[in-house]
Amino acid sequence: MAKGADKGGLGAVADTGEMSVPVIPAPGGILRTAFVGGASKGIGRAVARHLASRGVRVIACGRSAGELKSLVDELPLIEVPGPSPKETILKAHKAFVCDLSKTETLESELKKLVLDTGAVDILVLNSGGPKGGSVLDADVDEFRKAIEGHLVSSQILAKMYVPGMKHRGQGRIVSILSTSVRQPIAGLGVSNSTRWAMAAWCKTMAGELAPFGITVNMVLPGFTRTTRLDELSEAQATKRGIKKEEVVEEWIKSTPMGRLGEPEEIASAVAFFASPAASFITGQALAVDGGRLGSV
Ligand SMILES: NC(=O)c1ccc[n+]([C@@H]2O[C@H](COP(=O)([O-])OP(=O)(O)OC[C@H]3O[C@@H](n4cnc5c(N)ncnc54)[C@H](OP(=O)(O)O)[C@@H]3O)[C@@H](O)[C@H]2O)c1
């Protein structure tokens, strides 16, 4: 039995012999598992943390093994009931080192993962954003890479995980896109185009999967304080011959709340769509953008 892990034990600890690890009970004693793409940094990392703090076991995907390991090491273990009333089992999270844009090998990598970790209840579609720049300046290969890394990889992930969700009659798919699906952002040509393709994919999937109790929703982050935003501000500043702080200041000015978003604020919206509370909501795109969008 996990020492110190009682039923109300949010924040309880397990004594592993060498060090104490926080333990969170799975809600209702039922283990839910989430695959989180792009989980090593930024928004995906915040999503992984948020879900784990609510008792969800996380499969954290990204390319950097070191960053994923540090994430998995810091997440609380998930406690589920054991074979007898007095026993509990602690479930660990999983780092899945994988480049989602290498779609020719993604399916075989996922097959190995599924043999190890089984089906998932929650699929969070997320990866690194495409390079900035105008549409016309973009190389054809930038489009190929973005479509492979977002649309094609999402299709492969869905083909892998949706059958299990259908079998259980429930599932949650949440895609992290951008406010550009409603209002294109200047200087993000490839990204704007790829997000629209993803939004169309999500909306179509939502209709197809609704009869099986599976919801598909989208979260549209506004300007959010992550490595991605830092890189974009750097690139724009270099191109325009201004300081990157000035670029960030412009973004803040275009946001009625007068600040950048924090990754945790995006993660809360993802966790809502992934929760039982959102059981009758599907095909929706929720902007979490401090009021940036001018449309309803
Ligand atoms: N931040 C914003 O203001 C903002 C606004 C709107 C939309 N978005 C979008 O939201 C998503 C997440 O953004 P973010 O700001 O969190 O970005 P980020 O800080 O750059 O994090 C991106 C994550 O994706 C992973 N990743 C990148 N390429 C990958 C690949 N080929 N295969 C697997 N994992 C990959 C990265 O980890 P590894 O390097 O370890 O692979 C990292 O964990 C992006 O699509 C971004 O464009 C962000």
Q: 51-103 pLDDT, tens per residue?
A: 999 999 999 999 999 999 999 999 999 999 999 988 999 999 999 999 999 99
For ligand 1, what atom is nearest to the CA of residue 130?
47
Q: Which residues line ligand 1 (CB under 6 A)?
A: 38-44, 61-64, 67, 99-101, 126-129, 149, 176, 178, 221, 223-224, 226-229
Q: Kindly report the three-state secondary structure assignment for every residue of 104-128.
A: HHHHHHHHHHHHHHCCCCEEEECCC
Query: pTM of the predicted model, to two decimals?
Result: 0.94
Beta strands in 214-262 (DSSP E): 214-221
Question: What pLDDT does 5 receive?
Answer: 32
Rounded to 10 degrees, the C-alpha dihedral 150/152/153/155 comes to 110
* DSSP conformation class of 224: B
Specify the pairing of strand 171-176 against strand 122-125: parallel
Weakly modelled stretches of the chain, pLDDT under 50: 1-11
Cα separation, 95 vs 217, in Å, equals 24
Question: What pLDDT does 14 receive?
Answer: 64
Question: What pLDDT does 296 receive?
Answer: 86
The residue whose CA is least distant from atom 23 of ligand 1 is 38
CA 219 to chain centre: 10
Question: What pLDDT does 21 receive?
Answer: 81
Q: How far is the CA of 4 from the centre of ligand 1 (A)?
A: 37
Q: How far is the CA of 129 from the centre of ligand 1 (A)?
A: 5
Question: What pLDDT does 20 receive?
Answer: 76
For ligand 1, what atom is nearest to the CA of residue 179?
6
Cα separation, 206 vs 213, in Å, equals 10
For ligand 1, what atom is nearest to the CA of residue 127?
24
Question: What pLDDT does 199 receive?
Answer: 98
